[in-house]
Amino acid sequence: MKLFVILFVWALTISSSIVYDPSPLQDICVAIAEPKNAVSVNEKFCKNPNLTVVDDFLYQGLNIPGDTNNKLGSKVTPVTVDQLPGINTLGISLARIDFAPYGLNPPHIHPHGTEFLIVVEGLYVGFVLSNQLGNRLITKVLKPGDVFVFPIGMIHFQLNVGKTNAVAFAGLSSQNPGVITIANALFGAKPPINPDVLTKAFQVDKDVTSYLQSQFWCDNN
């Protein structure tokens, strides 16, 4: 029994340690595309620390509204390690999300990170719990200044329910949280998912599945 408890605790420790980005073992690791005279950490090459410059740690432009002129009426401006090399190995990133009136950031997940949202203008937000918890919807209409958390891996969304533009800022617990937009992934997969799979999964007529797969699925990222 003692051995079982020890192994169980060890398994929990290992699993929790791989859920999020690992803690850095060095002061800085500026991501660099050229591997010459560099080392690979977290799938990125680290620039020689002696060659880093202030711009490696600077991103400018989050004050500029994103273009929401699309079918969704929203635009996500990400600041991940690809836009800000200095956050490599630090386990953080952020994004600006702009909304036209009634604009939607559609249901999606971040497979690698938890998200917390700081609302500048009011939004209707929510996330859906796992099958084991009955797919319960956790939802709220947020007011300016509210902060809301979307746990890692949960399907979530944000909708502007107002008649004016809205904006929010998101922080994420990964330098590369990833994003999977549910509708795009299922109906816009390349190559396409077999329609029989989607027809049975959604319990709709096959013509509905074919119609959905024929649509252009907008990407607001």
Please tell me whether the peptide bond between 191 and the residue prior to it is cis, using omega within 30 degrees of 0.
Answer: yes
CA–centroid distance for 195 within its chain: 27
Q: Tell the burial category of 45 from Cβ atoms under 10 Å away from its Cβ (0-12, 13-18, 19+).
A: buried
Amino acid in position 178: G
Structure tokens at 15: 């699993």
Question: Dihedral of the CA atoms 120, 124, 129, 135 (nearest 10)?
Answer: -170
Alpha helices in the chain (DSSP H): 2-17, 182-187, 195-202, 206-214
Asked, as a colleague might, if the bond just before 35 is cis with ω within 30 of 0, I would say no
- The gap between the terminal CA atoms of the chain, to the nearest Å, is 50
Q: Give the largest Cα separation in the chain, rounded.
A: 62
> Does the annotation flag 112 for ligand binding?
no
The reply, when asked if residue 108 is annotated as ligand binding, is yes
Contact indicator for 29, 84 with CB cutoff of 8 Å: no
Residue 54: exposed, middle, or buried by beta-carbon count in 10 A (0-12, 13-18, 19+)?
exposed
Best CA proximity match to 151, nearest among 168, 126, 132: 126
For the annotated binding site for Mn(2+), the residues are 108, 110, 115, 156
For the annotated binding site for oxalate, the residues are 105, 110, 115
For the annotated binding site, the residues are 105, 108, 110, 115, 156
